[in-house]
Amino acid sequence: MACVYIPVQNSEEEVRVVLDQLPRDASDILDILKAEQAPLDLWLIIAREYFKQGKNEQFRQILEEGSSPEIDEYYADVRYERIAILNALGAYYSYLGKIETKQREKEEHFIMATQYYNKASRIDMHEPSTWIGKGQLLLAKGDLEQAFAAFKIVLDGDRDNVLALLGQACVQFNRSRYSDSLDLYKRALQAYPHCPGSVRLGIGLCRYKLGQHSKAKLAFRRVLQLDPENVEALVALGIMDLQTNEATDIRKGMDKMQRAFEIYPYCAMASNFLANHFFFTGQHFLVEQLTETALAVTNHGPTKSHSYYNLARSYHSKGDYEKAGLYYMASVKEISKPQDFVLPYYGLGQVQLKLADYRSALSNFEKVLEVFPENGEALKAVGHIYGQLGQTSKALETLKRVTKIDPRDAQAFLDLGELLISTDPGAALDALKTARSLMEKGHEEAPIELFNDIGVLHFDRGEFELAEECFLEGLGDGIWRMLIDSKGKHYPIDSTGSISHYKDMQIFHQLERDGFPVELPWNKVPILFNLARLLEQLHNVQASSILYRLILLKYPDYVDAYLRLAAIANARNNIEMSMELVSDALKVDDKCADALLMLGDLELKNDDWLKTKDTFKAAKDASDDKDSYATICLGNWNYFAAVRSEKRNPKLEATHLEKAKELYTKVLVNHSSNLYAANGAGVVFAEKGQFDVSKDLFTQVQEATSGNVILQMPDVWINLAHVHFAQGNFSLAVKMYQNCLRKFHYSTDSQILLYLARTHYEAEQWEDCKKTLLRAIHLAPSNYTLKFDAGVAMQKFSASTLQKEKRTAQEVRSTVAELKNAVRIFSQLAAASNLQFHGFDEKKIETHVNYCKHLLLAAKAHCEAAERDEQQNKQRIELARQVSLAEEARRKAEEQRKFQMEKRKQEDEHKQVMQREEHLQRMKEQWKSSSHGAKRKDRSQFDDEDGGGHGEKRRKKGGKRRKRDKSSKSRNENEEPEDEAVYDHEDIEEEETNDHVYPHHKLNDEEDNEGGENAQDLLAAAGLEDSDVDEAAPSQTNRRRQAFSDSDEE
C-alpha cells in the first residue's frame, strides 16, 4: 500500500498518509502540509495522486495553494518544485482547453495555462520542462510553428530529450511529414527504450500513413502488448481490419471497436465507427447517441466531420432532409478541403437535389468529381442536374461519359434514355432497351418505370403490339389480365354501359365474390393507365373503360381517368355524360387546368358561349397564364364568336378575328413549334381571305405532324381542303377530304362526308354528291341536315339531266326515280315535328316539293321522246350489227379458203419431192447391182426400156394435153350458166372414182365445201348472198380435181 510521510516540525515524528485513502476533502491534507511546512515535492505527489483517482478538483486545489504567493515567499529558495507545480497546473489547464467543446471556455483554459507557464518561466526561463509544457499548449491550440520552435529550444540544449522528441514528432505528424515524424519517434525510442506503449502508437500511425500497413499492425500490436487497454491502438487495429472488406476481419474490427468503447466510452473514433456499424443495421437511435457523444468529447475537425456525417446519414435515411442537410453542412465545415473527407459533399448534394436546390447540389457533386473524376454515381447526378437546369447538351455529354466509363451501368443507360425521350425517341428507345438487357443479365429486377417508358416509346412509333407487350410485362399478373384477356369474357359487359354507368363497379364486386382479389398497387397505376390509353387507341373502348374504372375504384382521386372516360363519352357525342365526368374530376381538383379546358370545349360544343369563355379564363388563371393550350382555347373562342352564323356583325367579326390572331401569335412567340397555334393562325388568315398565307401555314403543320402517331391533327387536313375549295381547286379538295377520312376516321365521319359532298356539288358532280350524302346518312341517320342536302342534290341532278340537249331514256327514267326520292325526302322533313329545331323553313321545303313535282311532269314528255329515240337507235344498231356480222362471216370464209389452198399446195410439193427422192433411190440401187461385164447388154436393155419409157411419157403427155383441154373447156363452160349443172355432175362422178386413191384430199374438200356452205348460209340469212360465189365455186373445184388427176397419171 503506497504512502507518504510528512515530517512533524521540531520533532522526529512523521505523519503517515496512505495515498489510496486520501480524504475527500483536500483541506485536511492542506492544513497538515501548511502546518508542518512540508516539502513541496510532497505537495506535488499528493496532488498527482488525486488526479490519478479522477479527483481533479482536489488536484487543482492543492496545486493552486502550493503556488500561492505565501508559499512562493516561504519557499523562495526552492526553484525546481515550484516550477514543477506551476507546469503541472499549466498542463492541467491545457488538457481542459483541449477537451472543451465551447470556444469561450476553451480560450479561458488556454489563457490560464499560458499564465502558469509564464510564471514558471519567470522563475527559470531555461527550464526544459516549461518549454515542453509550452510546446504542448501551442500544439493543442494548433500553432504548429511555435510549438515546433518550443520543442526545438529544448532539443538544442538536450538532443535526446524524450519529451521534446515526442512533441516535435507530433508536430511533424500534424504537418503530414510522416517520414520526419517517424524518425523522431525512433530517436525517442532509442533514447529511452522503456518508454510507454503510446510512443509506439505514434510509430504505428506514421507507418500507416506511409502505406506500410503490415509494419503498422506490428506496432499497434506491440502497443497492446505493453498496454492491453490502449484505446487508440485498439481503434487503429479495428480500422485496419474493417478496411479489408472481409467478413471475418470486419467482425474482428467491430469487436475491437466495441472493446475500445467499453474501456473508454468517450473515444470519439470508436463511437464514430460503431455508429457507422449501427447505421447499416438500421439502429438509428444508437447512431444518434454515439455521434452526439463523439461530438461532445472531441474538438478534432476530421473526427467531428465524421460524427456529423453519421448523424446526417441517419436523418437522411429516415427522410428528414432538412436536418440531414444541416448536419451534412456541419460536416463539410469541419474539413478544409474535399480531399480530406469527400462523403459529406456527396450526401449534401443528394439532399439538395431532393430539395430541388440544383445549383448548390451541382457545386457539391463537382467537388466530389475533383477527388474522383470518374465516379459514376456523381456523374449521373451531375447529368440529371444539367437536365433539370435545361442544359440538355451537357447532360447528354455527362451521361454518355458514364456509359463509356462503365458500359455495364444499367442506371446510366436508363437516365440517358429518359433524357433522350423528348429529343431523340429512337436513341432513347435503344438506351432503355440496353438498360433492360443489362438488368436481365445481372439478374436485377427492372423497375416498372422502365417498362412504362419503353412501352410509351413504342406507342409513339405506332408499334402497338410491342407497346402492349411492354405494358403487360411491366404490370405482371393481376386482375387487369382477366379483364382484358379471354378469361374475363364470361363477365358480360355492355360497351355502352361501360361509359354511361362508369360509377357502377358491380363487375369488380362480382370478381371479389368469385374469389378473385381486386388489387392495384399505386406504382402500377401509371402503366395501367397507359395500357388503357393504348387499348383506347386500338378502338377497344370496352377494355379501356373497364381499366379506367378499376383505377377509379382504387384511387378515386385519379383525375386523368375521369378525363379519359369523358373523352370517350365525347367521342360518342354523349356530351351530357362527358360533362358529368369532367365535373367529377373538378370535384377532386377544382384548379385542374386540363379538366377546365375540356369542360370549356364541351360547353363550346354545346353552344354555351358565355360559360365557355369564363371556363377558359379560369383555366388560364389556374395555370398562372403559363398554359399555352388555355390561350389557344381562348383564341378558338374568339374565332367561333366571329364566324357564328346568327347575327353576324362585321365590326364584331373583325374584332374577334383580330383578338384570335393576337392570342395565337402570343403562343407562337413563346413556343414557335406549337402546331395548334399555327393551325389557328392559318384559320384566321383564311377567314380574312389570305388563302396563300393560310395554305402555307397549313402545309407546314401537316408536314410537321406526318409520321407522328400520337400527334395527329386531322383538322389541318380539313382546313387545307377548305382552302383548296375556296380557291376553286375542287379536285385537290376532294382528294384532301378523302385522304383525311381514310387516314384518321376510317371513312366514318359524317361531317367530313358533308364537306366532301359540298365539294362535289360545287363541282357539279351530282352523282358523287348524292352517293357521299347517302354514306353520311347511313352513318348519322338522325341528321336532318344530311337528308335535306341529299334531297337538294337529287333535285339538282334531275334538273341538270333534263336540261341536257341529248339524254337517254334510262337517264330520264333515273331522273324520274331521283325526283320521286327527293319528293319523299322533302315530305318526310316537312312532316317532322321538330322542324324548327333543325333550322328548316317549312315554306322552303314546300317550294322544293312543288319544284320536284313540276320536274316530274316535265320528265314524262322527255321520257316518251327519249324512248322513241331509243327505239330508233336500237333498230339502227341492230341493222348495223347484222351487216357487221355478214361482213365478218365473209371475211372468215375467205381466210379459210386461202388457208386450205395454201395447205394443199404445200402438201403437193412435199409429195412430189418424196416421189423424186424414191425414184432417184431406185436408180442408184439398179446402178449398184449391175456388174462391169454386163454393161453392154444392160445398156441395150436399158435402151429398150428407155424407149418404152418414152412411149409412156408420150402417153402421159397426151393425157395431160387432154386434161388441159378439158380444163380449158370447163373454164369456157363456166362462163355459161346452162352448162354448169352438167359439168358439176361429171366432176362429182370423177371424184367418186378416185375416192380410194386420195382419201385425205376428199376430207379436206368436204371441209372446204362445208365452210363455203356455212359462209353462204350466213350471207343468205343476212340477205347479202353473192351469186358470184356460186359461179366461182365449181370452177375452183374443177381445178382441184384436175390437179388430182395429173397427180394420178404421174
Q: What is the DSSP string of 43-63?
A: HHHHHHHHHHTT-HHHHHHHH
What distance in Å separates the CA atoms of residue 848 and residue 341, rounded to the nearest whole number? 95
Please give the span between the terminal C-alpha atoms of the chain, in angstroms, as a whole number: 174
6 backbone dihedrals φ, ψ, rounded to 5°: -105, 115
Least confidently predicted of 48-62, 464-478, 762-776: 48-62
Task: Kindly state the average pLDDT of the residues 253-269.
Answer: 89
**Amino acid, res. 551:** I
- What is the model's pLDDT at position 54? 82
Question: Tens digit of pLDDT for each residue in 390-419?
Answer: 899 999 999 999 999 999 999 999 999 998
Least confidently predicted of 63-77, 875-889, 985-999, 1027-1041: 985-999
- What is the model's pLDDT at position 942? 42
Find the angle CA(674)-CA(676)-CA(679) to the nearest 5 degrees.
110
Rank 605-619, 946-960, 974-988 by mean pLDDT and report only the highest.
605-619
8 A C-beta contact, residue 483 and residue 458:
no
Share of the chain above pLDDT 90, in %: 34
What distance in Å separates the CA atoms of residue 406 and residue 438, rounded to the nearest whole number? 12
Task: Kindly state the average pLDDT of the residues 594-620.
Answer: 87
8 A C-beta contact, residue 352 and residue 325:
yes
- What is the model's pLDDT at position 832? 67
Q: Output 802-809 pairs: Cβ under 8 A, ≥24 positions apart.
A: 802/855, 802/858, 802/859, 802/862, 807/862, 807/866, 808/866, 808/870, 809/863, 809/866, 809/867, 809/869, 809/870
The pLDDT confidence band at residue 991, using thresholds 50, 70 and 90, is very low
What distance in Å separates the CA atoms of residue 303 and residue 331, rounded to the nearest whole number? 9
- What is the model's pLDDT at position 913? 92
Find the angle CA(100)-CA(101)-CA(102) to the nearest 5 degrees.
100
What distance in Å separates the CA atoms of residue 314 and residue 278, rounded to the nearest whole number? 10
Residue recorded with cell 325526283:
819
8 A C-beta contact, residue 721 and residue 733:
yes
Please, which residues have CB within 8 angstroms of residue 256's CB and are 6 or more apart in sequence?
A: 234, 235, 237, 238, 241
Question: Tens digit of pLDDT for each residue in 269-292?
Answer: 889 889 988 898 888 889 999 998
pLDDT of 1 higher than 60: no
- What is the model's pLDDT at position 727? 92
What's the grid cell of residue 737? 377530304
8 A C-beta contact, residue 436 and residue 413:
no
The pLDDT confidence band at residue 355, using thresholds 50, 70 and 90, is very high
Question: Tens digit of pLDDT for each residue in 365-382?
Answer: 999 999 999 999 999 999
Q: Is 153 exposed, middle or buried (0-12, 13-18, 19+ CB in 10 A)?
A: middle
What's the grid cell of residue 829? 322533313
pLDDT of 765 higher than 70: yes
What distance in Å separates the CA atoms of residue 1034 and residue 673, rounded to the nearest whole number? 95
**Cα dihedral value 857, 858, 861, 865, nearest 10:** -140
- Across the chain, what does the average pLDDT equal? 81
Cα distances (angstroms) measured from residue 373 to each of 386, 387, 458, 905: 17, 20, 36, 105
- What is the model's pLDDT at position 183? 93
- What is the model's pLDDT at position 246? 86
- What is the model's pLDDT at position 98? 82
What distance in Å separates the CA atoms of residue 429 and residue 448, rounded to the nearest whole number? 15
- What is the model's pLDDT at position 835? 54
Question: Tens digit of pLDDT for each residue in 574-589?
Answer: 888 899 999 999 999 9
Stronger pLDDT, 218 or 491, i.e. the higher one: 218
- What is the model's pLDDT at position 495? 43
pLDDT of 178 higher than 70: yes
18 backbone dihedrals φ, ψ, rounded to 5°: -80, 125
pLDDT of 32 higher than 70: yes
pLDDT of 888 higher than 50: yes
Alpha helices in 355-505 (DSSP H): 358-371, 376-388, 392-405, 410-420, 425-441, 448-460, 464-475, 479-484, 497-500
The pLDDT confidence band at residue 1048, using thresholds 50, 70 and 90, is very low
pLDDT of 772 higher than 90: yes
Stronger pLDDT, 267 or 999, i.e. the higher one: 267
Exposure class string for 609-622: b at 16+ Cβ within 10 A, else e = eeebbebbbbbbeb
What distance in Å separates the CA atoms of residue 974 and residue 984, rounded to the nearest whole number? 10
The pLDDT confidence band at residue 706, using thresholds 50, 70 and 90, is confident
| pTM of the predicted model over 0.85 | no
Share of the chain above pLDDT 70, in %: 84
Rank 7-21, 521-535, 595-609 by mean pLDDT and report only the highest.
521-535
